[in-house]
């Protein structure tokens, strides 16, 4: 609360006049009210000029009297602070993900399970109500308020721990920085951050004008924006939010439907399409209604969320380690559109894989303009008989990757021809090879420019060496200028610092940040480096397994194909790929060059507290556990000397079964592998 008794101005250290304090208070109230009416209600009552003048006056007064600045002032929505990394936040109540359903039969089964659990607890199911809401295609966040002020915002992360993105969330003007309620002061709100369709189109249009890569869809753009480290950049993006969850100890909360109303009273944006229903048939009717209007909404949705209304009933029904049992998501079918294939182009991947890609007549689908679709491989082209000039039905797989679903042959031109199998690389003109028992063709020229570009993009990616500042266009420029010919040259970029600073899209600050990130990457562990160098068939998990069996790169490079093949989960294809990499002089040179620049090629063993129940035993998990997430259980097993695997074989020692197990349970039974429950697993831990 502003008061002249405890605030002094900088001018001659005099007390701040009451008139100034009152003016600042009134300006904040008017600006906050205008933000609420514009961004939440979509009913502005003042013009932009009047709003800008009020904001300008408030900035002037706070600059003149810095003691008046508070964290919840509208001027503090953009901090201008650039951070090096996001701090982790542990969620007081886990942000669990929802189980998905794809047809009405699965919704009926959900309803049956809910009723059974309530009846087992002797609850009258005649009082059962559901609340239906839209399932937004955005990014889940948590907002924490203390003493009526927004103090912390975090991403969902893994459900238990997320990233602190408070400053970035403050830039969203529909989020109140403070609330005015007589009782509710300390609470948590959750919601979904998203970007409207028209705003996404505008962002991509601007990217095209700048010659930059366009974004795949609104959801990915929102997620990427929230993780930007400069809140000024975030403020330039049109992020929005809908809230759908309230938790507080200040008053007793009884019903989810009433909580949504309370969120609106607290001036949070709540989507208007929520509805309370009395049975699962009404849920279906709601889902059908929403699917009909889906394309007319100004934002992307991919389904409907169904929740038990009573919070007491929610508590009785409970959760699994991953999902609430009292809620489910009903996912809509993937959107489809008809378009024409103008051409089929061949892409060259980092390992030389040739991938056919359809060039399409542009069509807007699931939130973005689609002009290309993967055709996967030449067997796929042959199986579907895909040709240039064909009219095709396309959809986004998982609403992300465009693919050709079907050729509409009735529209095929009479002069159409089958697509010929390739013989030479489209980039370097080298002969292509097709290994026996593989569907892919490969360019075998290691120095093919497309492969060099792909290897470097993979090496610097977040899951590999995480070198920030080397995007696709920058890498292409550095290759064209001769600064980078292969991966190891990344660590020689400091020799070209002055030349880099003078380049377009660079500058002293960005170059310094890039070189710093390159140096920091030298601290990445052996398994990350092993994954980053891009040996064919070596993914993150495989690299981790190999690093645990071969403690340094020399022991791996000298290993025979048979020795590598002996490792559980490593098959002959991977073993052959590794030995061929180290036989090749180019692979050997790359390792030697990366050793010289200081990368880690030795496994740092974690301290393991061995438990005889787990030592050297291999475990596979299937279904959902009550007390652990899949990742937590795997880490626990490995910390006690055991191994984990994603597949069941005769070498598996135990299969741990949770609720709703998959096919792994049947395979374990057929192979005679010991199956244990979560309760038995916990007993093994205690022993």
Mind telling me the catalytic residues?
135
373 phi and psi angles, rounded to 5 deg: -145, 135
Name the burial class of residue 154, with classes exposed (0-12), middle (13-18) and buried (19+) by CB atoms within 10 angstroms of its CB: buried
Q: How far apart are CA 7 and CA 21, in angstroms?
A: 9
Q: How far apart are CA 56 and CA 71, in angstroms?
A: 18
Closest CA to 361 of 344, 386, 341, 389: 341
Q: How far apart are CA 659 and CA 247, in angstroms?
A: 28
The position carrying tokens 């390792």 is 591
Give strand pairing partners of 146.
149
Name the burial class of residue 495, with classes exposed (0-12), middle (13-18) and buried (19+) by CB atoms within 10 angstroms of its CB: exposed
Phi-psi region of 157 (alpha: psi -120 to 50; beta: other; left: phi over 0): left
Q: Where are the alpha helices (DSSP H) in 427-552?
A: 449-460, 472-480, 497-501, 508-520, 526-532, 540-549
Neighbours of 243 (CB within 10 A): 22
Cβ 521 vs Cβ 547: under 8 Å? no
Cβ 469 vs Cβ 478: under 8 Å? no
Closest CA to 649 of 679, 619, 625, 616: 619
Q: How far apart are CA 413 and CA 391, in angstroms?
A: 9
Closest CA to 179 of 152, 145, 154: 145
Which residues have C-beta within 8 Å of that of residue 161, sequence separation ≥ 6? 88, 89, 90, 91
244 three-class SS: strand
Name the burial class of residue 331, with classes exposed (0-12), middle (13-18) and buried (19+) by CB atoms within 10 angstroms of its CB: middle
Q: How far apart are CA 18 and CA 59, in angstroms?
A: 18
Cβ 468 vs Cβ 513: under 8 Å? yes
In the sheet that 149-155 helps form, which strands lie side by side, from edge to edge?
Answer: 149-155, 139-146, 187-194, 240-248
> What percent helix, strand, coil does the chain show, rounded to 5?
40, 20, 40
* Assigned token pair, 309: 């209304």
* Assigned token pair, 562: 């048979």
SS (H, E, C) 336-369: EEEEEEEEEEEEECCCCEEEEEEEEEEEEECCEE
Q: How far apart are CA 233 and CA 317, in angstroms?
A: 43
* Assigned token pair, 661: 């197990």
In what helix (H) or strand (E) does residue 372 lie, and over which residues does it extend?
strand 368-374
């Amino acid at each position: 609360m502003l008061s002249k008794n405890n605030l002094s101005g900088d001018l001659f250290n005099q007390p701040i006049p009451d008139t100034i304090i009152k003016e600042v208070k009134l300006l904040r109230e008017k600006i906050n009210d205008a933000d609420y009416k514009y961004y939440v209600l979509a009913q502005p009552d003042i013009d932009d000029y009047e709003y800008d003048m009020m904001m300008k006056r408030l900035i002037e007064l706070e600059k003149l009297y810095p003691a008046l600045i508070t964290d919840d002032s509208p001027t503090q929505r953009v901090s201008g602070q650039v951070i090096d990394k996001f701090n982790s936040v542990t969620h007081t109540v886990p942000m669990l993900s929802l189980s998905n359903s794809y047809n009405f039969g699965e919704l009926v089964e959900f309803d049956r399970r809910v009723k059974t659990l309530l009846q087992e607890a002797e609850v009258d199911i005649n009082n059962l109500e559901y609340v239906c809401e839209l399932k937004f295609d955005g990014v889940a966040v948590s907002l924490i308020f203390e003493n009526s002020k927004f103090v912390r915002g975090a991403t969902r992360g893994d459900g238990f721990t997320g990233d602190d993105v408070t400053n970035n969330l403050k830039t969203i003007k529909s989020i109140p920085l403070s609330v005015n309620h007589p009782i509710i002061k300390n609470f948590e709100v959750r919601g979904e951050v998203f970007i409207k369709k028209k705003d996404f189109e505008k962002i991509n249009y601007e990217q095209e004008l700048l010659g930059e890569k366009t974004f795949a869809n609104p959801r990915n753009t929102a997620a990427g924006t929230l993780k930007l480290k400069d809140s000024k950049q975030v403020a330039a993006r049109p992020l929005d939010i809908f809230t759908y969850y309230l938790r507080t100890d200040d008053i007793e909360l009884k019903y989810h439907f009433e909580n949504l109303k309370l969120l609106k009273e607290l001036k949070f944006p709540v989507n208007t399409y929520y509805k309370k229903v009395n049975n699962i048939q009404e849920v279906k009717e709601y889902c059908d209604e929403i699917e009909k209007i889906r394309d007319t909404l100004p934002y992307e949705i991919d389904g409907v969320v169904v929740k038990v209304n009573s919070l007491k009933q929610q508590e009785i029904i409970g959760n699994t380690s991953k999902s609430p049992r009292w809620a489910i998501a009903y996912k809509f079918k993937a959107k489809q559109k008809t378009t024409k294939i103008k051409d089929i182009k061949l892409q060259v991947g980092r390992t030389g894989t040739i991938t056919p890609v359809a060039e399409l007549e542009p069509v807007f689908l699931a939130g973005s303009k689609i002009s290309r679709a993967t055709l996967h491989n030449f067997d796929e082209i042959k199986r579907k008989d895909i040709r240039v000039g064909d009219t095709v039905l396309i959809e986004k797989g998982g609403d992300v990757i465009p693919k050709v679903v079907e050729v509409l042959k009735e529209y095929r031109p009479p002069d159409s021809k089958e697509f010929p199998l390739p013989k030479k690389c489209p980039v370097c003109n080298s002969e292509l090879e097709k290994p026996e028992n593989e569907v892919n063709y490969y360019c075998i020229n290691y120095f093919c420019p497309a492969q060099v570009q792909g290897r470097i993009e993979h090496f610097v990616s977040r899951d590999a060496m995480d070198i920030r500042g080397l995007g696709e266009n920058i890498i292409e420029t550095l290759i064209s200028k001769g600064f980078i010919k292969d991966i190891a040259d990344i660590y020689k970029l400091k020799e070209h610092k002055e030349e880099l600073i003078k380049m377009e899209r660079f500058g002293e600050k960005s170059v310094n940040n890039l070189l710093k990130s390159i140096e920091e990457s030298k601290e990445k562990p052996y398994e990350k480096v092993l994954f980053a160098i891009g040996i064919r068939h070596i993914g993150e998990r495989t690299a981790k397994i190999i690093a645990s069996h071969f403690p340094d790169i020399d022991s791996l490079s000298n290993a025979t194909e048979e020795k590598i093949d002996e490792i559980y989960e490593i098959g002959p294809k991977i073993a052959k790929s590794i030995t061929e990499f180290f036989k090749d002089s180019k692979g050997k040179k790359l390792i030697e060059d990366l050793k010289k620049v200081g990368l880690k090629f030795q496994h740092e063993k974690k301290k393991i507290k061995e438990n005889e129940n787990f030592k050297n035993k291999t475990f596979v998990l299937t279904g959902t556990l009550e007390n652990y997430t899949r990742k937590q259980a795997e880490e626990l097993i490995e910390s006690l000397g055991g191994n984990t695997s994603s597949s069941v074989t005769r070498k598996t020692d135990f299969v741990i079964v949770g609720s709703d197990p998959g096919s792994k349970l049947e395979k374990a039974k057929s192979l005679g592998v010991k199956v244990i429950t979560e309760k038995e697993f916990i007993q093994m831990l205690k022993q």
